[in-house]
Structure 1
Amino acid sequence: MSGKSTPLASFPLEGTKRGIISVSHLEAPYGKNSESVVSIGISLGGEEESPDWKVHIPYSQIDNLIQALELAKKNRS
């Protein structure tokens, strides 16, 4: 169903022993002719290629996500 995945970055998930957060470019995630997305994955066991959770963000909405994350960071308890 999903197309080619190109890793962009990965880093340790704070508070876990082996967890990682991975960020990739994903082409045709929903089949032929679907728009590319940024895929953000969380793997508790360190398996970057098969995350436990993932979310796909359309490129057109990255700025909205960044704003929301900055707001969350500013307002964290």
Structure 2
Amino acid sequence: MMATTELGTLSLSGTKKGVISISNVSEPYGKGTEDIVSIGISLNGKDIEWKSHIPYANLDDVIKILQEASEAKKKEEEQ
């Protein structure tokens, strides 16, 4: 049975009320399916407008790419 556990939330930059919520979802696609990380974006702080589901098997690679993107953006802004 699918179950969602909130792992954390943070303010969404550039909005007044927006939040990014990160959750673990157990059995997201039915009985026996592997847990995923769900990243939701809410512009009003309540209703999720966008959502990404990332399998834990892909999480380290996604984090690596996001860190590289962050570093590249910081270097770009320094110029």
User: Quick check: TM above 0.5?
Assistant: yes
C-alpha displacement of 1:72: 0.4
Structure 1, unmatched stretches of 5+, are: none
How far does the alpha carbon of each residue in 1:11-68 deviate from its partner, in whole angstroms, 9 at most, with x for none? Answer: 1101001100000000011111111000000000101xx4111001111111101100
Select the residue among 61, 66, 76 that pairs with 2:63: 66
Bigger radius of gyration among the two = 2
Report how many residues are paired. 74
Distance 1:30 1:52 in 2: 20
Distance 1:39 1:13 in 2: 16
TM-score computed with the length of structure 1 as normaliser? 0.90
Match of 2:53 in 1: 56
Structure 2, unmatched stretches of 5+, are: none
Q: Secondary structure at the match of 2:7?
A: strand
Q: Confirm whether residue 10 of structure 1 aligns to residue 19 of structure 2.
A: no
Q: Which has the higher helix share?
A: 2
Q: Tell me the percent identity.
A: 45
TM-score computed with the length of structure 2 as normaliser? 0.88
Question: Which runs of 4 or more aligned residues in structure 1 lie more than 3 Å from their structure 2 counterparts after TM superposition?
Answer: none
Distance 1:52 1:35 in 2: 24
